[in-house]
Amino acid sequence: MRYLMIDRIIEWEAGSWIKGIKNVAMSEDFLEYHFPGNPVMPGVLLLEAAVQLAGWLEAAGSDFRDWFLPTRVRKCNFYGFVLPGDRVEFEVRAVSKAEPGVRAYQCVGMVDGKRKVKAEFEGERVALAELEDSAQQRRLFQVLSGKTGFHHG
């Protein structure tokens, strides 16, 4: 099963930054076991959401030829719990590269203006077509970013 951790992409600037939202629903299957009777979104899934946003930033900036795969988490701090009903607002920013071929990002995840996660991670750019159907990912990005052509009345 593949988890898509981002529910909405709000805005982005190709090659620079991206903002997205994860709405935590009580129906998420990972909450059943983390923790029984006291559901909390696992920290590793907050980090996964940030990494997926970095992937979307790479894709949008490369006309959906590239994606980001993490190889190292430099640092990650958590500040309290993310609970069912929370709306996590992420901002992921590209940072200067440490070495050729390495992509590096910083992220902050906030709930109601309070920081819940802050991380720095790095990885490599890979060909999107080796992982997924590029055209399908382009369509999914359009849905996530509200650019489907559907109009709300």
Residues carrying an active site annotation: 34
Who's near 74: CB < 8 A, 6+ residues apart? Answer: 104, 119, 120, 121, 122
Q: How far is CA 115 from CA 42, 104, 107, in A?
A: 15, 21, 11
Contact 25, 89 (CB under 8 A): no
Contact 142, 4 (CB under 8 A): no
Tell me the Ramachandran region of residue 127: left when phi exceeds 0, alpha when psi lies from -120 to 50, beta otherwise: beta
